[in-house]
Amino acid sequence: MSSDEDAARRAAAVRLVALDVDGTLTDGRLFIGPTGEAMKAFSVRDGFGLTLLREAGIRLTLITARRSAIVEVRAAELRFDEVRQGVEDKAVALRESCERFGLEPQHAAYVGDDWPDLRAMALAGLAASVADAPAAVRERAHWVSRAPAGGGAVREFAEFVLQSQQRLGSALSRYTDSRA
Residue-level pLDDT, tens digit, the chain, 180 residues: 678 999 999 999 999 999 999 999 999 998 888 887 778 899 999 999 999 999 999 999 999 999 999 999 999 999 999 999 999 999 999 999 999 999 999 999 999 999 999 999 999 999 999 999 999 999 999 999 999 999 999 999 999 999 999 999 999 998 897 765
For residue 178, the model assigns a pLDDT of 72
Q: Of all helices (H) and strands (E), which one includes residue 85?
A: none
Amino acid at 113: D
CATH code, 3-166: 3.40.50.1000
pLDDT for 180 equals: 53
Q: 117: phi > 0 → left, psi -120 to 50 → alpha, else beta; which?
A: alpha
| Residue in 6, 14, 8 with CA at minimum distance from that of residue 124 | 14
**Residue 128: predicted pLDDT:** 98
- What local confidence, expressed as pLDDT, does residue 1 receive? 65
CA distance 134 to 56: 31
Q: What is the pLDDT of residue 39?
A: 87
